[in-house]
Amino acid sequence: MFVASPQLLSGLVQVLEWQDCSESTRHHAVNIMRSVCSFCSPDTQTTLLADLLQSTQRVAAAVVNHLQKCEDDQVNQVSVGGAAATDAEAVAFRSEGRPAEAPNNKLGILLHRLIQSYAAVTSNSKQAAVAARGKATTLDPLWHAINGYLLRMNTQLEAFKDPKAASSVTFPPIVLPLVESFFMFHSIHSDLANDPPSFADPEPTNPTAEPQQPEAAKANDESGGPAATAEPSSPVSGGKDSTVSMQFIEKNRRLLNVLVSSNISLLGTSLALLMKYPRYVDFENKRLWFREQIRREQESQGYGHSCRIHVRRANVFQDSFFNLNSRQAEELKGRLRVVFKREEGVDAGGLTREWFLVLSKEMFDPNYALFIPSAEGMTYQPNGLSSINSVHLNYFKFVGRVVGMALFHDAHLDCYFTRSFYKHMLGITPTYHDIESISPDYYKQLVWALENDVDDLEFTFSTEADDLGKREVIDLKPDGRNVPVTNENKQEFVTLITDYKMTKAIKDQIDAFLGGFYEIVPRRLISIFNEHELELLISGMPDVNIEDLKANTEYVGYTSASAVIIWFWQVIDAMNREEKSMLVQFITGSSKVPLGGFKDLQGMHGTQKFNIHRTADTSRLPSAHTCFNQLDLPEYNTFDQLKDMLMKAVTMGHLGFGFV
């Protein structure tokens, strides 16, 4: 063990405090500090970290004073073209690098430099990181001050209505280094806390409690269903530091997404911790991040070669199958060149896009027996009887490759799958609510069983399956056909029957599809999306005509002149394109808009208009029955209450909200 003099350690820290300290100088100083932590005694490490933390505390105190002065002076925090912001939808930080060193920003840059160094030193030594964690609370006043400073800014952002105003609105330069400092510091402790990285959480043992599952805000059927959880389950399992990070992100979601939208690379650098909480990242930002990762993979792997695909338009499915089946996955990531035989045209991208669209429709041709329509007829699920086609698993792998290729090459497909199938693509366990889209009547039976006494009913832990005309009994657990379902074990039954119907009955088909899909798109990249967003990524964002939707809406318990209905349409009119797409998904189960408009909207029994039903319980979020295009809308007391509850249901309700 080496011993470094206190003067050397103090001098290293002082270098970081120089206003003229360059990035190169900082880098050299940090490398020396890392060496100290690697080769010197624990006492020397402790002294170095104490000096570094003490310096950070001094600067933090100055930052707190500065932010307090801004609040006391009521300094404008957001501006539009140099003037105070009064009306805009979003705020843009127009800088690809470090913001200009304005006088009020030097403190922010210095704080960022010290915390960046602190994070770098502690990340090199687990012992140092653990020691640093014990001192983490010493900077709590700084984080409280930053939260307060950003609160006013977020309040201003919430008042902005025009999305185009983002181009003329700027943050004060100090904002980004303050936010980066928070994320860098808490990343140290987040790594120790083992934060979950995505939506793909384990299935809860209680089927009525569905943390982070998209259907939790859906209504139970008319007979009444189990109440959803009171709050969305926390995406945090790692203690205080993880909770602090999540709360900071939740409170500042709007501001953080605006910062990221102007420089998507932040998600891979200083704001990388944000990606551990993907539910708070806007879909468009995640999409841009996804495209950036694909671009980097293309560059690093050298996918500059051409992949030529020759097909006959009248036989596009079979020709495409033989073309793709004979190639390695890496070949399919090259630049696609599609040729329709006996047709003129050089593929500059248009023929490839056309090929994807034509092929995506052929996937659902009933002659191939690969997919079956859901109850409402707009989405598709793997066919459990697809084995009637002897090469069905090869076809499923092929379809998985096609969907993966569309994502990889930024093309859209004219295909819409069930929520549960999108969940399988993401590694999320389907819930019993997902059964509603496949078998609404059976779903009602499950809901009834969960809410009523079943002790006197004679049914067991088994189910019947159709194997190409032959009926057979399937045990859901060992000797399940002889195990009665009771009030005590009925939740276990619901979990097991859901697993069988939504997963095990089509496991071979799912595995084959995912085998092809993951060959093209790495699971780690796709896991940041939820199933609603994955549909938009695959099929594109629709143009939703709200006037057409309004003209084809029916009311039960309300009229078009009811206050709640007037408020409802006011909220919808103010939605952006992404939110309108999510609204259509929430109501119908798919973002697909009928070609003839909403007058042709399909339900379980054919054409069925969007209908809004009045409900009385204002403690509940709005909820939907997608098989009937039905929205259950409580009679809220105020516009603000309706807006808050509706937006939660549409944009976040599917992640676990029920009662609030």
Cα within 13 Å of Cα(3), Cβ side: 3
Count CB-CB contacts under 10 A for residue 559.
Answer: 8
User: How far is Cα 534 from Cα 530, in angstroms, rounded to an integer?
Assistant: 6
Contact 96, 176 (CB under 8 A): no
Instruction: Give pLDDT, residue 363.
Output: 94
pLDDT tens digit sequence for 123-178: 766 665 566 565 667 888 999 999 999 988 887 777 665 544 543 457 888 899 99
Per-residue pLDDT of 196-238, as tens digits, reads 333 333 333 343 333 333 333 333 333 333 333 333 333 333 4
- According to DSSP, the β-strands at 380-382 and 371-373 are antiparallel
Contact 92, 166 (CB under 8 A): yes
> Residue 191 — pLDDT band, cuts 50, 70, 90?
low
Of the listed 37, 70, 307, 627, which one is catalytic? 627
37 is catalytic: no
Q: Which of 248, 235, 244 is nearest to 652 (CA)?
A: 235
Report the first-to-last Cα separation within the chain, whole angstroms. Answer: 57
Residue 68's pLDDT is 87
Of 2-11, 265-274, 621-630, the range with the highest mean pLDDT is 265-274
Domains delineated in the chain: 6-193+236-276 (no CATH), 299-429+508-527 (3.90.1750.10), 432-502 (3.30.2160.10), 539-655 (3.30.2410.10)
Task: Note every long-range contact of 123-126, with CB atoms under 8 Å and residues 24 or more positions apart, other chains counting.
Answer: 123/188, 123/191, 124/34, 124/37, 124/38, 125/34, 125/37, 125/38, 125/45
Planar angle of CA 456, 461, 464, nearest 5 degrees: 110
Cα-based torsion angle of the residue sequence 288, 291, 292, 298 in order, rounded to the nearest 10 degrees: -170
- Mean pLDDT, residues 508-535 taken together: 95
Which 3-state string (H, E, C) describes 158-190?
A: HCCCCHHHHHHEECCCCHHHHHHHHHHHHHHHH
pLDDT digits (tens, 9 = 90+) for 299-318: 877 766 778 899 998 899 99
Which structure tokens are listed for 195?
């934060």
Report the alpha-carbon distance of residue 125 to residue 466 in Å, rounded.
Answer: 59
pLDDT in tens, 550-569: 999 999 999 999 999 999 99
Average pLDDT over the chain, rounded to an integer: 80
pLDDT for 500 beyond 90? yes
Instruction: Find out whether 486 and 203 touch, Cβ atoms under 8 Å.
Output: no
Least confident segment among 22-31, 153-162, 273-282, 365-374:
153-162
Q: What is the structure's pLDDT at 424?
A: 97
Residue 186 contacts by C-beta under 8 Å, 6 or more apart in sequence? 241, 244, 245, 248, 273
